[in-house]
Structure 1
C-alpha cells in the first residue's frame, strides 16, 4: 500500500505519532510474508488492522468501532482477521491454560486440558518434542476446547477463534486431541464408580439398622446414625441404641408379667 494512503488512514482513526506509524508500517511489511491466505481481507482492512496492532502495542487509545467501519469489514470478520494477524506476527501474549479458562468460564476443564497436552507431547518423537511450544495459543486453546467438549461443558464460541489459527488447522488439531480427551474422561468416570458404589453401600447399611420391636412396629435408629460418620462411630452408636431397645423390651415384659 502507498505510504501516503497508509498515513491518511492512520490520520482518520486519530494516529499521528511517528513511532506508531513506523511500527504499523513494519507490521504491514511483515504481513505480506507471514499473513498470506487470510480470507476476506483487503489492503485497506489489513492496513487498519496493522495500525490497531501498533497502537495497542504502545497503549495508544483508539476508536475501535470507527476503525472497523473504516476497514469495510463486519465486526466478526475484522476481529477474526485481527486475531489471526496477531498470532501470525507473533504478537499475541501466550495465556496459560488457567488464565484462558478464567477468561472463558471453563475452569473445570483445566486439568483435563493439561493432561491432553501432556499426552499429546508424549506421543510425539523426541526431536519433534524439542521443537514444539505447547504454550502457544493454538495448542492451549485447542486443548481447552477439546476438554470442554469431552466433559460436555458449554463454552463461549469465541474460545475457538481466540487461537488465531485458521479453522481447518484448529479443527485438525482438535481431532488429534479428541482421542486423548476421551481416554482421560473415561478414566475419570471409572474412578468415580467405586465412590458411587460405596455411597450406595453406606445407605444400604443404614437401612439394615432398622429393626422391629416386640409389637412388630418398625423402629428406626436415631437421626444421628443417618449422618455421615466413621464406621467405628456408626457401630458404637448402633450397639448403644440396640442395648437400650432390648432393655426397654425386658422392662416391658417384666411389668406385663
Structure 2
C-alpha cells in the first residue's frame, strides 16, 4: 500500500510533468532528509507538501531536468527567499552544496568577457583578509566581485539576480558592497556609480527598517499559516473518521 509521501510525490510530480526517474530520485532525497533531520526543528516545521516539492526540485536539478520554480513557489505557499533558504538547507543536509565560482557566476550572468578581471579582484580580496575570518566558499564574495568588476567595465548585470544567487538580503548586500567599495578604493580601483546604485545613509537605514518590518509580518503570516495547516490536518482526520 502506498504511503502518504508516495502519493504526494506522484501527485506533485504529475503537476510538474516529471518522469519516473525524477520521482525515484525524489523518494530517495525525501527519505534521506527525514532520516538526517529527525531532530531538526526547522525542517520538521515544514508541511509534507513543501518537503515533497523541495525534494522534486533537487531531484530535477541532480538529473538535469527543468523545474518550474515559480509554480513551486505557488504550491509551497512560501515566500521566494524562504523557499531558497530551505532549498539550500536541504542541499546542505544531503551534502550537495557546491561552491559557486567566479566562472559559474560569469557564465550564468553572460559576462565571461570580464572573468579574468573578476578572478584577479577575488584573489586580491582574499589576500586582504589578514585574520582569515572570512569564508570565501560563501557565494556572496564571488557574486560581489563580478558585480564590482562589471560596474568598473560598464558591463550590464542584474543586481537582483546576483543577490538571489548568493541568497543575501538587500541590507546584507549593501553592507558587503560598502566593504568592497572601501577595498577597491584602497587598491586604486573605482566602480562607476549609477543613480540607482547610489544610496544615501538615510535610504540605507530605511531599507533596514523595512526589512525588520517585513520579518515581523512574515513571522505573523507563518503563524497564521501554521494554524491553518493544523486546522486542515484536523479536518482531514475528522473527515476520515466520520
Query: What is the aligned partner in structure 2 of residue 123 from structure 1?
Result: 128
SS of 1:91's equivalent in the other structure is coil
Contact 2:33 2:90 (8 Å CA) reproduced: no
| Closer, same or farther: CA 146–62 of 1 in aligned 2, 3 Å | closer
* Structure 2: gaps of 5 or more residues: 193-242
CA distance in 1, matches of 2:69, 2:190: 46
* Structure 1: gaps of 5 or more residues: 190-257
CA distance in 2, matches of 1:170, 1:33: 32
Query: What is the aligned partner in structure 1 of residue 27 from structure 2?
Result: 21
* 1:178 has 2:184 as partner: no
Query: What is the aligned partner in structure 1 of residue 112 from structure 2?
Result: 107
Deviations 1:101-123 (A, max 9, x none): 13212335434432332222212
Query: What is the aligned partner in structure 1 of residue 167 from structure 2?
Result: 164
Query: What is the aligned partner in structure 2 of residue 229 from structure 1?
Result: none
- Cα deviation, residue 57, structure 1: 1.7
Correspondence 1:160-239 to 2 at 5 A: 160-165=163-168, 167-184=170-187, 186=189
Correspondence 1:33-112 to 2 at 5 A: 36=42, 42-43=46-47, 44-59=49-64, 67-73=72-78, 76-77=80-81, 80-81=84-85, 84-85=88-89, 88-89=92-93, 90-112=95-117
Contact 2:149 2:191 (8 Å CA) reproduced: no
Contact 1:97 1:114 (8 Å CA) reproduced: yes
| Closer, same or farther: CA 188–67 of 1 in aligned 2, 3 Å | closer
After TM superposition, the score normalised by the length of structure 2 is 0.53
Deviations 1:125-159 (A, max 9, x none): 36x37xx6635423211221233345554312312
CA distance in 2, matches of 1:134, 1:62: 29
CA distance in 2, matches of 1:150, 1:188: 4
| Closer, same or farther: CA 106–23 of 1 in aligned 2, 3 Å | same
Aligned residue pairs total 180
SS of 1:57's equivalent in the other structure is helix
Query: What is the aligned partner in structure 2 of residue 142 from structure 1?
Result: 144
